[in-house]
Structure 1
Amino acid sequence: MKCKRRDFLANLAIFFHLVSSYGFIYVQCVDAPFIHIPGNGVISGTYLKMFRTQNVKAYLGIRYAHARRFQPPDIELTPWKGIFNATSFAPDCWQNPMPSVGRETEQILKIISSETNSDDGGRKYEENCLYLNVFVPDGLPEINGYAVVVWVHSGDFSTGSPADVNPFQLVFKQKVIVVTFSYRLNIFGFFTTDDGEAQGNYGLMDQSAALYWVKKNINLFGGDSNRITLMGHDAGATSVALHMTSGEWSKGGFHKAIIMSGNPLNAVKMPYEYEGSLDQVSSVFGCPRRPTSMFMQCLKRVDAKRLSENLPSVSWGPVVDFGLSNTSYPFIENQPEILFKKGSYHKVPVIIGVTDMEEVLTLFKDNLDTEISAADTEGFFSDIAVTDMHKLVRNYEWCSNYELITDAINFMYANESDQDVKKANKHIISAHTEKFYITPMQSFADMISNYSTVYSYLFKMRPRSVLQDLPSWISVPKYFDQVFVWGNPYMTNMVDWKSSDKRNSDIIMTLWANFAKTSNPTKSNVYIKWNAVTPNNDSVLLIDEAFNTDNLLNNQRIHFWKTLYPKILYYSADCCNSTMSGGSLVIVTTIPILCTLSIIVNIF
């Protein structure tokens, strides 16, 4: 580094900060090498420092495309004049207010972000928000360049920011480049109509535009354009899976995938499912609903801030957009599960995994110390049954066969010899995690293991240094694994980190970085056995203090959700359809009994 005066000031800051808080300090020194991006111009970056010897180079707030409302991104960028100052984060994309979360989730999110990505603690927003950030190790890269990790942020396609994580330690310790970026959210990113006027999936197209920029330019930063790993969490994980099936959109844009805490087989909405929501939007903003062209023109005139802050409650997200545009390829041609089953996807190596209690802090948000009763458990299972039946039958006026499904779920979860006082609580969260996360993970791994190398994991290790007041029955909720992935035990001054958390973080970062570099997570610097999934061995790495492996083929609950539950569901749905088509009350009362016998005969 050449900025000695700034080093002196930084050292003073370190001294006074250590005296006051015994923590870490995170400072910037603006002298990272200039980089010339052909066709755009020259950018200057910044050095991010921790202590005197820990540096990474950061190039922040670089535009990668333009966002015009309800249109695909425009990747043609006008050259800027002079030197672009890439030393601070750009505004985020407009989004819904952050949903209320519990104290524990809020605390872990603050730790993950390290609260260092914003100078004033506040965030700014704009609509033309397609910016990315490049974090580069300090020093000489490998012969072919650094491996690259492109991060797709968490959220629900309506919230989230690239500043939600701090990649400093992963970059510094593992010598990989990390790229984070913004993409359009909620109505700006996923507005769609079923008449071809609005294709939707603009947020996913933004992600592809970011990948295109990285593929084209990352070599200028010392990166290897042939070793790009796409990594995401939650909605970001779903996005990664959708890029695997995106056809021409992301073809060649990435070479490996890491899918964390997401369901890669999650059913994608159909455009017609937004009809009611669009009616609400039309009413709120006083826009004519028909014709669609007038509706869209009216919405385009609404100020972005007003549009974002006054949206009705809508679950915006990806849609099957086949046939919705004459000018763009479909991003999602069919349901992901169908595409993966028939092998219609980009065949890249994959790491996929979940925590063992993903949604526990959401399901039990303000009731972590409440002991759930057996009746509550059965009610929860009944809700699952009713929801799944409704998806198949779409009318349950006369249908009571969901009780059969409820009994089957209850049989699997409520007959254990578990002496824990929070037995019912565990049954609920186990059923939820195994149905919505672990089973899809295992099914996905089975589908692609014939064509791709896939490693699966189950995260069962919580940081020992934080949130030790969580009830003993709670294992690892969503987000807690990211503390290890991003090396937070080496970063934040908010926590007095235990050596065990630092050691385990080193292991996790090494596994993830090995995969980004070589496609093999155990290639070097780690002594762990992690077998790839094969058609005859659903091997899963149990990430706990022992780092042992297991085989999901031996898990009866997973086998239930994957094999038996769909059969019970479809038999019950068939019976309900028969019941509703009947002409007399006698048929209504007798058919459920016949269905029960049919299920027993056909399944067992």
Structure 2
Amino acid sequence: MIRVVVLVLLTHPAFAAREPPQINLVNQGTIAGMYMTRFRTKRIAAYVGIPFAQPPIDFRRFTPPEVSDLPRWDGVRNATTYAPDCMQQDPMKKDEKDEAVGATVPRHDELFIKLLDTQLEEPRKKEFSEDCLYLNVYVPDGYKTDKFPTMVWFHGGSFVRGSPNYLNPFHLVWKYKVIFISVAYRLNIFGFFSTLDNEATGNYGILDQIAAMAWIKNNIESFGGDPENICIMGHEAGAVSVGIHLVAPYSVGAFQKAIAMSGNILSPNTVSTASKEVLTVDKTAIAFSCFRKPTFQLLDCLRRVPAQALLDIGGPLSEWGPIIDKEFSNISTSLFSDKPSRMFNEILSPVPFLTGFTNMEDALELQKEDNDEPGISQSQYDIMRKEIVLSDITVDNSSCFTNQHHIQDAVAFFYKPIPPTNNETILLKLFLEFYTDKVHGATTYQLAKYLSSHAPVYLYRFDLKPFSDIANEGIPDWVGVPHNFDLTYTFGLPHLALPEDFGKWDIRDKSISDVIMKMWTNFAWYSNPTNSGINVVWEPFEKEKPGFLIIDRKNFTMSTPETVNYKAFEFWTDFYPKVIEIGTKCCKDTYDDSGTDSFLTRRVINTLITLYFLLFLLS
């Protein structure tokens, strides 16, 4: 799975002449915040670095967050300093020779970080700690209302990196009058290591988010918020988290609406299985010279490893993330009772939902390093497509026969260029279309079909590339909107530039950003993105009328069969799983030594696959 990081850097907060109101927190104590200001006349109140659970260190490492006894203090605690980020590799780290030695990041993240750096007068100091379970609360100032809606942000970063402290919600909070809360949660091995039993069930990063939502529910009224109007919101891994909370038993009642951007719980390899993680547990034990069993001794050993060593050695051992924890414990309820797609048959939190993706999420991953003309050869196109399909049909029993060629042929037929071409640019765009349809479009479409019978669902596809050169630096002309760059508008980056950069932002980008922020905050206020102050028609998704809002430079319009390939979505969500099931059915069958049954089964399955494909094309 392509790893992604989402970073939106903060402008520096400045203190005004007086302090915002002090807040009394339930079972904790009193906090004092600060004002963040711009141009002297604009300001919001900020309360940052607030603990919502006990520090997950020492014996609390690899355990659910401790919230029964929250951190307490006497007197007034200053909530004016951001807490360190959760343990992760610093992508910008350099050695004494000023050479980069940190974790590699995707190209789209590298460019987005550079764009976000333009908001800062000086580089932000990066700090990392295992003691990181804190959140930040941003509140409108000087505006009276009964109760504000609250938007709770879960950052991205493929569950291995990211920060709640980089994001600057100033314009969102100041102009559109919402409370904005950014939440930290444990990452990589610290957040997702599991012994696959009751000793360490895993998914601590997700449980951290649930603990934060419970804290928000208990305290948001003290900040002027409505505990019955909370919208959770995330990007990439944060959006996957949002999907998890829709079906997680512990999240029921914690929120009333949800926004998921450029991430989907139904995407391939989003949630791992216990069978895939057995080897990870073994490798972890070996890496730190710990006894593998009993698992309580393994945990005792790992809890004595210094945090940085655990990250450096343990981090590369797995693609850390959520895991299906069914039957790990007989004393607590599992987070995942089944595969996510099966859990959506019974939605536990049927709330209004807004979700979508950009039109070229992964384009920059295919950009040539030498910046030559874009393109891939026919052989490259075939190899990349086949590898992606192969990842869906690989089975545990490597000796069994699969009808791989027929499955591959079905996909190749659907995505072959018509008319045939050797044009490498066309082939590159065709591959991007294939990948975007499969990973982003079809899963979003499928999730909407699950949810739309329970609550309103609003879908979008973001095709709008910024007009400003400062926002497109390093992005080739042929690329539409890569991953992260919809956040340029969602968080009002054109409005947050330093004075010397104001003129670098096109006025159209500022106007469009206002429209996007208005729609997103409308959804937080009213569960409808166009309820107030927006002259845009955005119809909710219906199975009989599956509409996307297409956001592009010309206008914002509802999708048509010419602008969205619904046939491709049906191919991936309905036809393709059936072909996979039939093509791997023989792996579950028993054959005699002569191989006769195996040969006959292959013939039958090949015929069934062909018939399925013909029926699909004719439907």
Provide TM-score, normalisation by structure 2: 0.87
Matching residue's letter, 1:520:
N
Deviates more, 1:547-556 or 1:267-276: 547-556
Q: Could you tell me the percent identity over the aligned residues?
A: 36
Tell me: CA distance 1:109–1:194, structure 2 relative to 1, closer, same or farther (3 Å).
same
More divergent stretch after superposition (200-209 vs 37-46)? 37-46
SS of the residue corresponding to residue 62 of structure 1 reads strand
Which deviates the most, 548-557 or 324-333?
Answer: 548-557
Following TM superposition, where does structure 1 have runs of at least 4 consecutive aligned residues deviating by more than 6 angstroms? 585-590
Query: 2:353–2:457: 8 Å Cα contact kept in structure 1?
Result: yes
Note closer, same or farther for the CA distance 1:368–1:250 as it changes in structure 2 (3 Å cut): farther
Q: Aligned to 2:528, which of 517, 520, 532?
A: 520
1:562 Cα offset (Å): 1.8
Taking the aligned partners of 2:75 and 2:329, their CA distance within structure 1 comes to 39
Aligned partner of residue 386 in structure 1, secondary structure: helix
Query: Are 2:573 and 1:562 aligned?
Result: yes
The answer as to whether partners of 2:119 and 2:496 remain within 8 angstroms in 1 is no
- Partner residue, 2:558: 549
Corresponding pairs, count: 574
Letter in 2 for 1:39: N
Alignment match, 1:160: 162
Q: What is the CA-CA distance between 1:589 and the residue it aligns to?
A: 6.7
C-alpha separation between the residues in 1 aligned to 2:371 and 2:433? 15
Aligned residue number for residue 317 of structure 2: 313
Q: Determine helix, strand or coil for the equivalent of 2:61.
A: coil
| Deviation at residue 417 of structure 1 after TM alignment | 4.5
Correspondent of 2:15 among 19, 29, 46? 29
Aligned to 1:597: 607
Per-residue CA deviation, residues 520-564 of structure 1 (Å, 9 max, x unaligned), is 100011100000111211111001121011157862222221222
1:431-442 superposed matches below 5 A: 431-442=434-445
Name which of 458, 472, 476 aligns with 2:461.
Answer: 458
Q: Measured at CA, do residues 252 and 590 of structure 1 come closer, stay the same or move farther in structure 2, by a change above 3 Å?
A: closer
Q: Which amino acid in structure 2 is aligned with residue 65 of structure 1?
A: A
- Please give the alpha-carbon distance, in whole angstroms, between the structure 2 residues aligned to 1:576 and 1:83: 65
Partner of 2:472: 467
Shift of 1:113: 6.9
Which one of 488, 503, 506 corresponds to residue 483 of structure 1?
488
* 145-154 vs 271-280, which moves further: 271-280
Residue type of the alignment partner of 1:485:
T
Q: Is residue 2:542 matched to residue 1:534?
A: yes
Cα deviation per residue 1:124-163 (whole Å; 9 max; x = unaligned)? 12212110000111113312x1111000000111111102
Letter in 1 for 2:566: N
CA-to-aligned-CA distance 1:255-305 (integer Å, 9 cap, x gap): 100011111324522223211112111112111111111000000111112
Give CA deviations for 1:176-226 in whole Å, capped at 9, x if unaligned. Answer: 110002111112111212232111111111101111111111111111111
Structure 1 position 575, deviation (Å): 4.7
8 Å CA contact retained: 1:104, 1:467: no
Match of 2:352 in 1: 349
Structure 2 Cα separation of the partners of residues 394 and 199 of structure 1: 23
Structure 2: where are the runs of 5+ without partners?
A: 1-9, 92-102
Q: CA deviation at 1:84?
A: 0.9
**Quick one: distance in 2 between partners of 1:319 and 1:103?**
27
Indicate the residue corresponding to 1:271 in structure 2: 274
* 2:49 aligned with 1:57: no
Match of 2:326 in 1: 322
Contact 1:169 1:486 in 2 (8 A): yes
Rounded to whole Å, the distance in 2 between the matches of 1:259 and 1:77 is 29
2:509 counterpart residue number: 501
Q: After alignment, is 89-98 or 525-534 more displaced?
A: 89-98
Paired residue secondary structure (1:272) = helix
Q: Cα gap change, 1:439/1:133 in structure 2, threshold over 3 Å: closer, same or farther?
A: same
What are the residue-to-residue correspondences of 1:26-105 with 2, within 5 Å?
Answer: 26-29=12-15, 31-66=19-54, 67=56, 68-75=60-67, 76-98=69-91, 99-105=103-109
Deviation for aligned residue 1:323 = 2.5
Q: Deviations over 1:206-258 (max 9, x none)?
A: 101111111111111111111110000111001011111111x1221111000
Check the 8 A contact 2:51/2:71 in 1, yes or no: no
The residue aligned with 1:375 is 379
Determine if contact 1:349/1:452 at 8 Å carries over to the other structure: yes
Structure 1 CA distance for aligned equivalents of residues 73 and 467 of structure 2: 48
Question: Where do 5+ consecutive residues of structure 1 fail to align?
Answer: 1-23
Query: Equivalents in 2 of 1:213, 1:434: separation in Å?
Result: 38
Cα RMSD (Å) = 2.4
Report the secondary structure of 1:321's partner residue.
coil
Letter matched to residue 81 of structure 1: D
Written as runs of structure 1 = structure 2, the 5 A alignment for 1:267-306 is: 268-306=271-309
For 2:559, give the aligned amino acid.
D
Return the letter of the residue paired with 2:188. N
Partner of 2:252: 251
SS at match of 2:272: coil
CA contact (8 A) 1:426 1:473 kept: no
Alpha carbons of structure 1 residues 197 and 102: separation in structure 2 relative to 1, 3 Å: closer
- Say whether residues 1:140 and 2:140 are aligned partners: no
**Which range moved further: 393-402 or 51-60?**
393-402
Q: Specify the SS of the correspondent of 1:517.
A: helix
